Amino acid sequence: MDFFLNGKAQSVEDNCSVAALIQTLDFKNKRLAVEVNLEIVPRSQFEHLMLVAGDKVEIVQAIGGG
């Protein structure tokens, strides 16, 4: 299935959840914000929200510093 991740075309297997995508990208256990089609996705929905072809996904990682 083709979708967009941070503006770039990507492919994943069909029936891929946001949680599965995060694990595939090796972002598990990191502080993230996820948006799908301009809607913020709460962490509690990562397992339940399934991606569909053409989705526009944005993932940003929080980085501490001072």
Residue 7 lies in a domain: yes
Residue 51's contacts (CB-CB under 8 Å, 6 or more residues apart) are 1, 3, 12, 16, 17, 18, 21, 36, 57
Residue 26 lies in a domain: yes
Residue 66 lies in a domain: no
| Confidence check: pLDDT of 60 > 80 | yes
Residue 53 lies in a domain: yes
Q: How many domains does the structure of the chain reveal?
A: 1
pLDDT tens digits, residue range 4-59? Answer: 999 999 999 999 999 999 999 998 778 899 999 999 999 999 999 999 999 999 99
Predicted pLDDT at 23:
94
Instruction: Extract the tokens encoding 7.
Output: 């503006």
Q: Look up the CATH number of the domain holding residue 32.
A: 3.10.20.30
Which residues constitute the domain of residue 48?
2-61
